[in-house]
Structures are given as C-alpha cells and as structure tokens.
Amino acid sequence: MPSLMRMICDTSKDSGVRSDCLWVVKELACSVWQMLVASSEQAYQVLHICMADPTDTVKAEAGAMLISLIDNIETKEERKPFATLIPEVSAVMAHLAASADSKQLNTLLQSLQSTTEVADFFKSHIGSHILPVLCGIAKSHKDEAARKYAFEAILCFLEGKTKAMLKVPNFVEQAVECAIFFMIQLEDDVEAWAAEDEDDGEDDEESHTFGKEAVDRICRSAQKVEAFPPVLDILKQAITKLFQSGEWKQVVAGISTLSMIAEYVDDEATVLQMMQGIKVQLGASHAFGAQACALLGMGRRGSVLRGPFRRSHRRYMGGNVVPGAFQHFGENVEREDLEPFVQPFMEKLGARLQSGNALNQKKAITFIAVIAGQVDDSFAPYYAPLMPVLKQVIQSTLHKVEERTLLGKCFECISLLARAVGKEGFRADAEQIMEAMISATKVANLPNNDPVKEYMMAASERICATMKEDFLPFVPHILPGVLEKFTLAPREFNGENPDAFNDDGNEVNLTLVQENGKVKIMIMYSSEIQDLKGALECVHTFVEGGQVQVVSELTLEFLKRVLPKFEAEELDQQGLKTSADGITVCLKKAGPGILGNDQVRHICQKSLTLLGESLKRRDESGRGPVKQQDEDGDVEDDGDDAEEEQALRISLCEVAGAVMQHHPDAFVAEIFASYLQVVQQWLGFA
C-alpha cells in the first residue's frame, strides 16, 4: 500500500499509471479502509493532491476512491477527517461535466450510487455543493448516460437518507423537475408517438420510463418515513403547471406523474381531484397522445385505488376511446363497472376492425380481447357479428410473416369469444379456427420468437377448457408445439460462450449451482421461463379436459429427459435415486398402454445395471481395509454412504414394480428372466 500511495503522488509518473493505482486502492477499500483511516492525514493529502491534478483520469479516480472509502468506513467519527474534501468533489464533477469526453464523469457519477454511508457523508453539503451540480448534469449534459447517472445519484441520496434529504431546501422540487425532464423526452410527432405499438416504442421511451419510475421512487421513499403529504403537494403543483402548459409532451408527463402517485393516495377527495384532471385530458382536442396516456393513468389508478376509483370513474368514461391504451385500463376494471359501456365501445371498435388498416385492427382486436376477458359470458351477443370479421382477418394475414402479431391477437380474441359463448356456441366454428391455427404453425421461414406460437398456446388452452372432450382431434397437432417448450432449460455461462447470451432487452435470471465441487453459473431468459410456465399451464388444461393422449405424450417426454441421466457417469447416488423415483411416480400415474416392449426392456435393463453396480460397491466396501482412527480416537464412519446406497437400490427395485403394475405382459416377455436370476442370487439359490 505505501508503494501504491507513493506512485499515486509522484506527478512525474504517467497519469494513466497513477489513475490505475487509484483504481486499485479504490477496489481494495473494503479490505484496507482501516489502514487508510489509521493514517487519515496522509490519505487526505493524497486525495487532495489528486483531485487538484490537471489530468481528468486522476481527478475522476481520486473522487471515486474517496467515495469508495467513505462507503466502507463504519462510523461517522472516522469519516469526519475527509468531510472537507466534499467541495473538491463537487468542483471535480463540475470540471468533468464541461469536458468533451464524458467517460471520466460517468466513472465519478456511478460511484455516487452507493449506500446510506455515502448519503450520510454528503448530507450537510447536498444543497450547497452537490445537488446544483448533479441537477445541471441531469438536465443539460449532452451524454444521455451521464444525465441518467446524475439523476440516479440524486435518487440514491433520497433513498439512503430520506429524512435528511427532505429537509434540504428545494431538494424534492429539483428532483421532480429532473423526473419531468426525462418524462418529456418523447419524439416530436404526437400522432406517430400515439400510434406506435407499445412493444416497438419501449426503446424510444426509455428516458420517459426512467422519469416515471423516478417519481415512484420519490413517493415510495417519502411514504416510508411518513412524509408523503408534503411531497404530494409539490407534485400537485408540478402537475398543474404541466397541464396548464398546453404542450402535449408536458401533458403526457403530467398524466404519467398522476399514474405513478396513485398507489400512494388513499383519500377519496384527492382521488376525485386526480380523476377530474384526467377527465379534462380525455376531452382534449390538442393531443391524441394525451388521451392515450390519460387512459393509461386511469388504468393504473384503477388497479390500486379499487373502492374510491370505482365510485369516481363511472362519471368519466366518455366516448373518446383510444384502442391500445384501453388495454391497461380495462384489465383493472371490475366486470360490473365495465358492462354498461360495452355497447358504445363495440360500436366504435367495429369500424376500426373493418378499416383494413393492420395497425388499427391490431389495436381494436386487443381492445375487444380485453373486454371479452373482463365481462366473460356477457360478451356472448357480440360473437355472431365479430366472428366473420375475425375469420376474414385470419384469412388475409395467415401467410404474411410481417403480420404475425395481428394473427396471434386474432387467435387470442377468438379463444376469449369461445369462452364467452361456451361449447355449443363455438362448436360450428371450432374446426375451422383450429385448422387455421395449425396452418399458421406450418408457415415457412418463421423466426424463433414467432408471436403466433405464444398466442396460440394460450388460445388452445382456453378452447380446450371450452370444448372439453371435443378438443381431442386437435391434440396431436397442437401438443408438439407445446412440448417443444419443455426443452427450455438453464444453460451454463462461461468465458467461452459470452455471445450466446447477448440478447438486448431480455431480462436474464442467474443461478449458482455447485456440482462436483465446482460452481456453475446457470442462465435462463425470463421470456423462456414464461414460455415454459405457459406450456405447463396449457398441458395442465389439456389433462383436466380429459385428453388421454396427452398423458402418454407427457410420460414419453419425461422419460426422454430423465433416462439419459441414468447413464450420466458423474451422477451420484442421490441424483440416481431422484431420477429413479421420478420414473416410478410417472409410470404409476400414467397407467397402462404407455410403454412399448423396447422401452420396457431399456428401462428395466438400465435399472438392473445400476442395481448391480450398487451391490458391487457394497461388497467392495465390506472387503475394504480396517477403518483407521482419527486424532480424536474416532473410527471413520461410512454409514451415510451405505444408507444412500440402500435407498438407491430400493428406488431401482420400485421402477421395476411400476413397470410390472401397468405393463405386465411386456415385463414378462422382455426382462422377467433377468430379474428372476437376480432374485435367485439374493436368496442364495444360484
């Protein structure tokens, strides 16, 4: 450490080497902070010299090192000697913000996103030195990453020391201003923005979403310390100003802010006031986008305010309806509240559905699906007029790869209509619709993430639940696509395959697994987990619907996946026992007529082989050398291994029992003689 410090302070050394040394000390701070605190005067001088250095890299790493050190120091008293460096940190930030290259600035800003200790260290200088610089960067820096890092630092200060930050003059006001700045980062064309698909617009609205989430974090922090009312007053003033501006982006930001604070409001008077603000925007003629966002706000409000929302929203459900945005609204409205408005909604949607415009049709079908899903059998009267139109859309999009989302939404909507009218009402159209779904999966050159597959699996589940045993003829065509999802499994991540998991925008789940003394990183995308969950739910519905063939298919699929593990050399006794138990349960529950003779022979022969290997290990253990005593005089005990081996042998025998129970003829023909020989050996008759 002394050598590193000398090199850091030696201005004759290359600045890159000195900044690297600072980085090393920063990374070691969690281990060496006591040493630095013990020599706090020397550490202070090193940091003071480096933050005054003419080189940006040295300045940035010195600031980051100070913050890392503060993050690890345990007591306020030990942090005090470094407090006079806070103005210098502020000056370094301001200097780096004016630099053409934002790399060093981002290094320092990221280090500020730390713990309660860092927030406590800076709290007395937040208003005077830190907040003005961070707000300036957040709202005006040319680099988007720097803007976000600066605002994230502000939010971390608030979350780390909420009570202290709320006492800082204008802290909340400036934090809200930053959030609004991010929320108005939308494209200039309001019509294009409002018409954009939600999925397609996620990347373009990243800053807008960041701003909305910031409002939520501000509210949540204030509520935790029971200080939400004064924060709400500040937010109300900001929302009023946004609405009064008349600019569509500001109006959208105002409604987005309303939607985020809804969760924290519980008095009806405030709810009514918020709903009145949304009502005005629903009727606004200046911004189609504001109308869409207003419905989004009502949707979120409906999901968190329940009682107060139900009593107030009836007054504001007018004729200005925006398909797409209504999806968020409709999913949170109770059936009895939505039913009186279904007819006027459907009158408008019918025109959009028959417009011939794919985008309008996609949004209208989404809207219809939401309504059908919420009001259930009350939607039955609309089945007859809607079905011919939906069939026409299917016919026109069946072979258009670019319209796969629209096709999938059609299948989803039809399955909800089927549920509304029941088995008899859907019977006449069932075969044609299922044939169309099956044909949709046979289109050539489809991408791996074909949306139709996802929609079709959920639609098949609903139709099966409606048609019951009449769904059986379609199972052979639908089931392979569902079982295909069962092949999804976590994959190992290592240095040799980093590109295999480079899927931007897809959330990844990580799990650490210890196997044979080694730790593996297993990775699975969230979308894959959802696909697997959907497949399991679909199969569950098939089985409940009496689709006997599904049981056979599932049993065979399970055996395909488990039997190879029987042959894995690295599998221990416990792993083999688990596989054997799984096979036993599966075969017992599946019943007769599942396995062929070859499968019976293969399963039983492998069980016999493993049984023989276990017996061999037992015999070798019994003939082994005399157990040695350890230093405490205790004899080595291998009782646990013996118990595991015995449990494994019992499980392997139970596999044969499950086969005999439901496939006796095949067992006698293929493997009975081999088992008889083993039994005779055990009884001593051989």
Give per-residue pLDDT as tens, 580-611.
888 888 888 777 887 888 888 888 888 888 88
Res. 637: pLDDT tops 70: no
Q: What is the dihedral of CA 187, 190, 191, 193, to 10 degrees?
A: 40
Rounded distance between C-alpha atoms, residue 68 and residue 658, angstroms:
62
Q: What is the mean pLDDT of residues 638-647?
A: 75
Q: Which residues contact 657 (CB under 8 A, 6 or more apart)?
A: 584
Res. 284: pLDDT tops 50: yes
Please identify which residue in the block is written with the tokens 């200088």.
125
Please tell me which residue, 187 or 562, carries the higher pLDDT value.
187
Summarised one tens digit per residue, pLDDT across range 42-58 is: 888 888 888 988 899 98
Summarised one tens digit per residue, pLDDT across range 487-517 is: 777 777 765 655 555 555 567 777 777 666 6
- Helices 358-375 + 383-397 axis angle, to 10: 140
Rounded distance between C-alpha atoms, residue 76 and residue 69, angstroms:
12
Determine contact, residues 93/133, Cβ cutoff 8 Å.
yes
Q: What is the mean pLDDT of residues 459-484?
A: 82
pTM: 0.55
Burial of residue 316 (number of CB atoms within 10 Å: 0-12, 13-18, 19+)? middle
pLDDT for position 502: 55
Summarised one tens digit per residue, pLDDT across range 128-157 is: 889 999 999 999 999 999 999 999 999 999
Rounded distance between C-alpha atoms, residue 543 and residue 469, angstroms:
10
* pLDDT winner (highest mean) among 178-187, 195-204, 241-250: 178-187
Please tell me which residue, 649 or 483, carries the higher pLDDT value.
649
Summarised one tens digit per residue, pLDDT across range 74-127 is: 888 888 889 899 999 999 999 999 988 889 899 899 888 877 888 888 888 888
Residue type, 286: H
List C-alpha distances in Å: 383 to 419, 425, 426, 466: 10, 9, 9, 15
Q: Which of 199-208, 369-378, 612-621 has the lowest mean pLDDT?
A: 199-208
pLDDT for position 90: 92
Q: How confident is the model at residue 312 (pLDDT cuts 50, 70, 90)?
A: very low
Please tell me which residue, 335 or 205, carries the higher pLDDT value.
335
Determine contact, residues 290/248, Cβ cutoff 8 Å.
yes
Res. 543: pLDDT tops 50: yes
pLDDT for position 518: 72
pLDDT for position 135: 93
Res. 645: pLDDT tops 80: yes
Per-residue exposure over 374-389, b if at least 16 CB sit within 10 Å of its own CB, e if not: bbeebbbebbeebbeb
Burial of residue 214 (number of CB atoms within 10 Å: 0-12, 13-18, 19+)? buried
Res. 72: pLDDT tops 90: no
Q: How confident is the model at residue 255 (pLDDT cuts 50, 70, 90)?
A: confident
Q: How confident is the model at residue 1 (pLDDT cuts 50, 70, 90)?
A: low
Determine contact, residues 519/513, Cβ cutoff 8 Å.
yes
Q: Which of 253-262, 486-495, 629-638 has the lowest mean pLDDT?
A: 629-638
Q: How confident is the model at residue 170 (pLDDT cuts 50, 70, 90)?
A: very high
Q: What is the mean pLDDT of residues 535-549?
A: 69
